[in-house]
Chains A and B, each alone.
Chain A
Amino acid sequence: MALLEARGVNVVYEPSRGARIWSVRDVDLEIGQGEFVGLVGESGCGKTTLGFALTRMLRPPARLTSGLIRFDGTDIAALSGERLRRSRRNGVALVLQSGMNALNPVRTIERHFGDVLRAHGRPGEATRLSAAREVGARLLEQVRLDATVLRRYPHELSGGMRQRVAIALALALRPRLIVFDEPTTALDVVVQQAVLQTIKDLQRDHGFTAILISHDLGVVLNTTDRVLVMYAGRIVEDQPSTELAHGEHHPYTEALLGCYGDPRADSVELHGIPGTPPDLSQPAAGCAFAPRCPLAEEICIRVNPALTPLGAGVGACHVRARAQRAPVVEVGHVG
């Protein structure tokens, strides 16, 4: 049985003034125990919203309008109040995008650990600061930080250190699944690599299931086993990471891959994606990528493609699906 199962998830933003925005549309996914999944797409594609929906962190004006979210068999979309709070322990954890700001500026790190322990301790169990220090030191060591960090305040740590502390705090919950929302976006490239490596090692050592959300395809391909590509609120492709280097893919995925060039090559041709992202307040009936797609056909504008087998995984493209079914198999490289 899949550890995390989502069926028909739809999220809508309903601001008090202005149009409703369909942020996540009809998302189905299954993630198995121990998988390391990447969720990639451009800004505004709904990946962060989906991440928040899966961790039950949506707040008004965002709303989960429909869908089933099952974690280890339990429907967590139905939880609320104290039961929802308690479910955070040993369940699904969220590590936020800006580790910069994820820590309370007026509390020391050891008090942060203390707060988490106290929140999930058994009633009556006194959680003294010494216990927090012990747990904190142990967890900090796992994220490659020294125990002296415990007595510091967040503003005394660098961005990378704060991000690691946030990961350590999430680990304190002994989660079985961690959603990392853009964990390295606010960091410079060198620190990025270090943090990503730490995350990979933690995942391997602890065995938790992980979802890494990023707009940076390079980061995702480097770190994860499986990639989900999102566009305009829908999942348009789902492949093992290793498969993305070759074969045919959803035109959007191919365009994303085409944006990167080899810096060591003598000459590099860079391509952008023409057009603009769609207006999410007016969802199209057909494929959302059609206006920008080089392969678009008449059916693409009329009918939204479902996820059908594509290569080693699935993809939502009429043209590719047809080619997949055709007897002649094309072999080619992505540019």
Chain B
Amino acid sequence: MTTITPSMKPSAPPGPPATASVPVAIGPLRFLGRALGTLWANGKARIGLVILAANIIIALFAPLLAPHSPTSTDFKPYSDPSASNWFGTTGNGQDVFSQMLYGARVSLLVGLLAGAAATVFAVVVGLIAGYRPGVVDDLLSFVTNLTLVLPGLPLMIVLAAYLPSRSVWTIVLVVAFTGWAYGARVIRSQAKTLRTREFVSASLLAGERLPRVVFREILPNMTSLVAGSFFGAATAAVMAEASLEFLGLGNPSTVSWGTILYYAQQQNALLTGQWVLVFAPGLAIALLATSFTLINFGIDALSNPRLREK
């Protein structure tokens, strides 16, 4: 029997490339809605979204929700929880409950802002490094790896200690400056992989210019990666902000969860029995950070089907 050599496969049209599909442009609002819907379907992410929403509401409506002004020192200092001061008062006679509500603003602001700044920087560096092999990539990768290797908190402490003014913006700056490297590394490797995908080559062959290709073809395929980076950076930012303020590197007159802890430590709240002063801010920080992490679980599951919940 003669050997039959295959020379053509059945002419079923080829399916789309295995992972990245050619993106369809849809409006940003619908995109956001769809993204939220998908996240909501994931159990862990749902809890995260609820906690985040609660924090946002508290931050926005703090003036309405807080029974007193957070900075007024009218109350008897070092007092335990009472009818008028649900969480007690600080050593300076300020109402802790109101401070907690207003404190949400700072933590959210720093978390989201520093997270966003770090992510933007990470995306820019990652895309350029991933897409331009050679010297540019080597240089950017080296800087990224160096920033990754340097210990984060000590670096932030040193930077913050040198800067003359102490404010929330100092903290945002310092956190963003040190927090971009991880995202950049991840995005760079993804950009490198996508660079060789057919639909990118197709666009370039069709005459599209590189920046357009990057923004309209590559970036939409990395949304879950960028979102994941953002929430990771935001988590780190919230923790870093709290840590820096606890160490006294923030502006002591800011009302934030970290400064509540700073004063609690300075005034030995534990020794005077005011455990609420320590418990409440810590729990709030933990909850906010956890919410970001939980949302990230949902994003992880979106991009890696193996991790999806059954």
Interface residues, chain A, with chain B CB atoms under 8 Å away: 16-17, 42, 60-61, 216-218, 221-222, 242, 245, 255-257, 259-263, 268, 270, 272-277
CB-based contact B5/A259 at 8 Å: no
A222 to B3, CA, bound (A): 7
| Any A CB within 8 A of the CB of B209 | no
Residue numbers in A under 8 Å from B8 (CB-CB): 259-261, 270, 272
Some 13 contacts from A to B, beta carbons below 8 A apart, are A16-B309, A16-B310, A42-B9, A60-B310, A217-B6, A245-B1, A257-B4, A260-B4, A260-B6, A260-B7, A262-B2, A263-B5, A272-B10
Given A16-B308, A16-B309: A255 and B10 within 8 A (CB)? yes
Given A242-B1, A263-B5: A256 and B310 within 8 A (CB)? no
| Any A CB within 8 A of the CB of B12 | yes
CB-based contact B6/A276 at 8 Å: no
Return the contact of A276 from the options B13, B309, B310 (Cβ within 8 A). B13
Residue numbers in A under 8 Å from B7 (CB-CB): 259-261, 263, 268, 270
CB-based contact B308/A259 at 8 Å: no
Beyond A261-B5, A262-B5: 19 further Cβ-contacts under 8 Å? A16-B309, A16-B310, A42-B12, A217-B6, A218-B3, A218-B4, A218-B5, A218-B6, A221-B1, A221-B4, A222-B3, A222-B4, A245-B1, A259-B6, A260-B8, A263-B7, A270-B8, A272-B10, A276-B13
Residue numbers in A under 8 Å from B11 (CB-CB): 272-274
B8-27 interface bits toward A, Cβ cutoff 8 Å, 1 = contact, 0 = none: 11111100000000000000
CB-based contact B13/A216 at 8 Å: no
A140 to B2, CA, bound (A): 32
Query: Which A residue sits closest to B13, measured CB to CB?
Result: A276
CB-based contact A259/B10 at 8 Å: yes
Query: Which A residue sits closest to B308, measured CB to CB?
Result: A16
Question: Closest Cβ of chain B: how far from A191's Cβ, in Å?
Answer: 16
Query: Which B residue sits closest to A272, measured CB to CB?
Result: B11
Residue numbers in A under 8 Å from B12 (CB-CB): 42, 273, 275-277
CB-based contact A42/B308 at 8 Å: no
| 4 nearest A-B pairs in the assembled complex, by CB-CB distance | A272-B11, A273-B10, A218-B4, A260-B4
Residue numbers in A under 8 Å from B41 (CB-CB): 17
A242 to B1, CA, bound (A): 8
Query: Which A residue sits closest to B9, measured CB to CB?
Result: A259
Residue numbers in B under 8 Å from A60 (CB-CB): 310
* Chain B interface mostly: loop
Residue numbers in B under 8 Å from A270 (CB-CB): 7-8
A255 to B1, CA, bound (A): 19
Question: Closest Cβ of chain A: how far from B229's Cβ, in Å?
Answer: 24
Query: Which A residue sits closest to B305, measured CB to CB?
Result: A15
Question: Closest Cβ of chain A: how far from B308's Cβ, in Å?
Answer: 6
Interface size (B, Cβ < 8 Å)? 17
Residue numbers in B under 8 Å from A217 (CB-CB): 4, 6
Residue numbers in B under 8 Å from A245 (CB-CB): 1
Residue numbers in A under 8 Å from B310 (CB-CB): 16, 60-61
A273 to B8, CA, bound (A): 10
CB-based contact B308/A17 at 8 Å: yes
Residue numbers in B under 8 Å from A17 (CB-CB): 41, 308
Query: Which A residue sits closest to B8, measured CB to CB?
Result: A270
Residue numbers in A under 8 Å from B3 (CB-CB): 218, 222
A171 to B6, CA, bound (A): 30
Query: Which A residue sits closest to B310, measured CB to CB?
Result: A16
Question: Closest Cβ of chain A: how far from B177's Cβ, in Å?
Answer: 39
Residue numbers in A under 8 Å from B9 (CB-CB): 42, 259, 272
Query: Which B residue sits closest to A61, measured CB to CB?
Result: B310
Residue numbers in B under 8 Å from A257 (CB-CB): 4
Query: Which B residue sits closest to A216, measured CB to CB?
Result: B6
A245 to B5, CA, bound (A): 13
A274 to B309, CA, bound (A): 39
Question: Closest Cβ of chain B: how far from A268's Cβ, in Å?
Answer: 7
Residue numbers in B under 8 Å from A16 (CB-CB): 308-310
A242 to B2, CA, bound (A): 11
Residue numbers in B under 8 Å from A216 (CB-CB): 6
CB-based contact A256/B5 at 8 Å: no
Query: Which A residue sits closest to B12, measured CB to CB?
Result: A276
A179 to B284, CA, bound (A): 58
Question: Closest Cβ of chain B: how far from A270's Cβ, in Å?
Answer: 5
Question: Closest Cβ of chain A: how far from B104's Cβ, in Å?
Answer: 34
Residue numbers in B under 8 Å from A42 (CB-CB): 9-10, 12
Residue numbers in A under 8 Å from B5 (CB-CB): 218, 260-263
A147 to B41, CA, bound (A): 54
B249-289 interface bits toward A, Cβ cutoff 8 Å, 1 = contact, 0 = none: 00000000000000000000000000000000000000000
A242 to B4, CA, bound (A): 12
CB-based contact B10/A256 at 8 Å: yes
Residue numbers in B under 8 Å from A256 (CB-CB): 10
A262 to B3, CA, bound (A): 9
Question: Closest Cβ of chain A: how far from B2's Cβ, in Å?
Answer: 7
Question: Closest Cβ of chain B: how far from A294's Cβ, in Å?
Answer: 14
A315 to B3, CA, bound (A): 24
Residue numbers in B under 8 Å from A277 (CB-CB): 12
Residue numbers in B under 8 Å from A275 (CB-CB): 12
Question: Closest Cβ of chain A: how far from B301's Cβ, in Å?
Answer: 10
The winner among A61, A245, A260 for most chain B CB atoms within 10 A is A260
A205 to B310, CA, bound (A): 46
Question: Closest Cβ of chain B: how far from A332's Cβ, in Å?
Answer: 18
A276 to B7, CA, bound (A): 19
